[in-house]
Amino acid sequence: MQTVGDLGVRHAPLDDVVASAYRGAASSDVSSLISSQDRLARFLAGLPGVDQVGCEQRAAALATRSIKTTAKLTAIELAISMIDLTTLEGADTHGKVRTLCAKARRPEPTDDVVPHVAAVCVYPDLVATARHALSGSGVAVASVATAFPSGRASLAVKLADVGDAVAAGADEVDMVIDRGAFLQGDVGRVVEEIVAVKEACAGAHLKVILETGELATYDNVRRAAWLAMLGGADFVKTSTGKVTPASTVPVALVLLEAVRDFSSVTGRTVGVKVAGGIRTSKDAIRYLVAVNETVGPEWLVASRFRLGASSLLNDLLRQRRKQLTGQYAGSDDVSVE
Amino acid sequence: MSEPRLEVKKTSKLFIGGAFPRSESGRSYVVSSAAGEFLCNAAWASRKDVRDAVVAARGAQPRWSTATAYNRGQVLYRVAELLEARRGQFVHEVRAAEGATARSAAAQVDAAIDRWVWYAGWSDKLAQVAGSSNPVAGPYFNFSVPEPTGVIGIVAPTDSALLGLVSVVAPVLAAGNTVVVLADEQRPIPAVSLTEVLATADVPAGVVNLLTGPADELVPVLAAHRDVDGLDLAGAEPVLAAAAEASGATNIKRISRGVAPGHDWRRDPGTARLLRFVETKTVWHPIGS
């Protein structure tokens, strides 16, 4: 029996809690649910609450899993293939993006066993540069948009931002939700924006950034995740990386359970991207363990799970060398962007 | 009449990044005095402790190496002040560790403190003595300055638990390097007490990191670590030192070889150790016609 018991109401069957709320509220389809702010708000309020202590305890327990030797090597290479190699600084230059793209194509130039990363994530004005530098590599170009990172702009400006990114060749768009509207209960507005952005994406994959560090509670994280998925998100993403706390394993657990429940009720698969503050191989492997234990090994692919990071890649490469040679790698052994 | 007290016994810890952890491995070993009496349980460091110590030393490197030489000298002098305040404790510990007489132990501690002061004074004079302005045939002002090598692994001398240790650590610090020190396995207590002084003396966390445990287990890890820039093998056995030198070559570590047995640490050390872990940078500065 599938349950939402890990985090929420213990041993309550999924059908009884989420699914009945969902079916009751949606009656026929998703569009009718999100078209009515009242029904949407009632549905979100009806989602089971997250047991905060249980969730953090579970995350801490998973963090103690020991991943060593060949398993570690596999996990490191898997993590590399899931990275959205990111640069989101005001000081970004075309040259820096090209350097990053070269690294994304071939993270370990001396060893072609190492896979390329999943995507390179940049601001919209640098998408064309990244697109050109990555042509034929299989590495996707992701762009943040919608007045990232605060999202404080009119819908028209946000859509123009998305349009720019897509026109320049972005395969994936990372949008931010309007946290202010969400926190004041204006869920209809949040979902309308997501739907509008999804449309503007014109086929590009949409990742919806919840900025969990600003949502205050795990209950809100679960509600925001459902909201994003109902709005048509292809991925739900934890954080912009500009707010502390950024991504944590307990938050990732909440998201993973949300996408699992969503998939079970609606049959549509949504991915999870964790981002912000993931700097070491150990951090990355903890997330992989959480994915494996929550939604299963079939989610351990770049099309369903991503790690948004910049310095993480270098640590993964150093740890990989340590696994292969037995010697701890130096800080000069990897390129610095 | 006073009540009998429970003994408050001290367990010796490692010193990594300004904190005093036990070994990550949970291991410890017994340290005995020269006369064979139990002194304490000391942390038996593992290769992961070596790794953590190198990470801490690397992290502390930019700040320590770019602090002004004057400031480094001031901080090091502060260490000497605190050593002086704990003089009695060090005399007691050196005596227990080496089986020396009270007078000999006191003389060693005094010499160690004086040496620390001496090296502290060298901090802002090193560039003047080791640097130069060079005459060149061209319109350039050409000068050379010594710069710190980086993260240095030090295998402490085995025959002199405090004076020997100070004689190898202080000059490397004065030159602006950060260090990972492996204390003598049999006599680690004065070294551990020195870290307690360093922790309270404005020396930034991670500048000095101390490990205790068997050299034959830890030196090879330190020597092979590619983020260590230099290796002082002062206290390493010849066979161990030769192997360390070979594996240190993989990332071209600067190596300082072991000292001969019976070395008299009280002798005037000169500037040799100050200059052992510096790199000379030469600048050609155009001055026009």
Residues from chain B contacting residue A329 (CB–CB below 8 Å): 226-227
Structure tokens at B63: 């700040």
Q: Is residue A11 very low, low, confident or very high in pLDDT (cuts 50, 70, 90)?
A: very low
Average pLDDT estimate for B84-98: 96
pLDDT at A36: 84
Question: How close A251 gets to chain B, by Cα (Å)?
Answer: 28
Average pLDDT estimate for A50-58: 96
Q: What's phi and psi for B124, nearest 5 deg?
A: -95, 10
Q: How far is CA B115 from the centre of its chain?
A: 13
**Which of A8-17, A66-75, A132-141 has the lowest average pLDDT?**
A8-17
User: Which of B50, B151, B152, B226 is most worth mutating to test chain A (most A CB atoms within 10 A of its CB)?
Assistant: B226
- The answer to whether B51 contacts A329, with C-beta atoms less than 8 Å apart, is no
A86 and A241 in contact (C-beta within 8 Å)?
A: yes
- A198 a catalytic residue: no
Spell out the residues 6+ positions from residue A305 whose beta carbon is closer than 8 angstroms to its own. A82, A271, A272, A273, A287, A288, A291, A299
- The H-assigned helical ranges of chain B are 47-66, 69-85, 87-98, 102-122, 126-130, 163-174, 189-199, 215-224, 238-248
Q: Where are the domains of chain B?
A: 28-286
pLDDT higher than threshold 80 for residue A18: no
- The answer to whether A328 contacts B51, with C-beta atoms less than 8 Å apart, is yes
Q: Where are the domains of chain A?
A: 14-323
Q: Is residue B260 very low, low, confident or very high in pLDDT (cuts 50, 70, 90)?
A: confident
A257 and A299 in contact (C-beta within 8 Å)?
A: no
Distance CA A128, CA A117 (A): 18
- The answer to whether B227 contacts A330, with C-beta atoms less than 8 Å apart, is yes
pLDDT at A320: 96
CA nearest neighbour of A249 among A223, A213, A274, A215: A274
β-partners of residue A83 are: A307
**Which residues from A are below 8 Å from B when comparing CB atoms?**
326-333
Give the active site residue among A161, A174, A219, A234. A174
**In chain A, which residue's Cα lies nearest the Cα of B227?**
A330
pLDDT higher than threshold 60 for residue B83: yes
pLDDT at A10: 42
- The answer to whether B58 contacts A331, with C-beta atoms less than 8 Å apart, is yes
Average pLDDT estimate for B151-180: 97
Q: What does the mean pLDDT of chain B come to?
A: 95
pLDDT higher than threshold 70 for residue A81: yes
pLDDT higher than threshold 60 for residue A100: yes
pLDDT digits (tens, 9 = 90+) for B187-238: 999 999 999 999 999 999 999 999 999 999 999 999 999 999 999 999 999 9
Tally A–B CB contacts below 8 A.
24
Q: Is residue A29 very low, low, confident or very high in pLDDT (cuts 50, 70, 90)?
A: low
- The answer to whether B227 contacts A331, with C-beta atoms less than 8 Å apart, is yes
- The answer to whether B226 contacts A326, with C-beta atoms less than 8 Å apart, is no
pLDDT at A13: 52
Q: Is residue A21 very low, low, confident or very high in pLDDT (cuts 50, 70, 90)?
A: low
pLDDT at A337: 73
Residues from chain B contacting residue A315 (CB–CB below 8 Å): none
Spell out the residues 6+ positions from residue B145 whose beta carbon is closer than 8 angstroms to its own. B127, B131, B280, B281, B283
Question: How close A69 gets to chain B, by Cα (Å)?
Answer: 15
pLDDT at A25: 61
- A174 a catalytic residue: yes
pLDDT at A37: 87
pLDDT digits (tens, 9 = 90+) for A148-202: 999 999 999 999 999 999 999 999 999 999 999 999 999 999 999 999 999 999 9
ipTM: 0.84
Distance CA A148, CA A127 (A): 15
| Fold of the CATH domain B28-286 | Aldehyde Dehydrogenase; Chain A, domain 1 (3.40.605)
User: Which of A281, A323, A327 is most worth mutating to test chain B (most B CB atoms within 10 A of its CB)?
Assistant: A327
Average pLDDT estimate for A263-289: 94
pLDDT higher than threshold 70 for residue A111: yes
B228 and B148 in contact (C-beta within 8 Å)?
A: no
- The answer to whether B251 contacts A328, with C-beta atoms less than 8 Å apart, is no
Give the active site residue among A171, A237, A283, A315. A237
- A207 a catalytic residue: no
**In chain B, which residue's Cα lies nearest the Cα of A331?**
B227
Q: Is residue B262 very low, low, confident or very high in pLDDT (cuts 50, 70, 90)?
A: confident
Omega before residue B21 within 30° of 0, cis: no
Residues from chain A contacting residue B228 (CB–CB below 8 Å): 330
Residue A15 is given by DSSP the state I
pLDDT at B23: 97
Residues from chain B contacting residue A333 (CB–CB below 8 Å): 226
Residues from chain A contacting residue B224 (CB–CB below 8 Å): 326-328
Distance CA B140, CA B283 (A): 9
Q: Is residue A8 very low, low, confident or very high in pLDDT (cuts 50, 70, 90)?
A: very low
| Fold of the CATH domain A14-323 | TIM Barrel (3.20.20)
Distance CA B157, CA B186 (A): 11
pLDDT digits (tens, 9 = 90+) for B16-28: 999 999 999 999 9
A155: exposed, middle or buried (Cβ count in 10 Å: 0-12, 13-18, 19+):
middle
The pTM of this model reads 0.89
Question: How close A328 gets to chain B, by Cα (Å)?
Answer: 5
- The answer to whether A328 contacts B225, with C-beta atoms less than 8 Å apart, is yes
- The answer to whether B224 contacts A327, with C-beta atoms less than 8 Å apart, is yes
> B134 by DSSP, 3-state: which?
strand
pLDDT digits (tens, 9 = 90+) for B32-75: 999 999 999 999 999 999 999 999 999 999 999 999 999 999 99
Average pLDDT estimate for A234-255: 95
* pLDDT cut 70: percent of chain B above it: 99
Give the active site residue among A158, A234, A273, A283. A273
Place of tokens 């190898």: B168
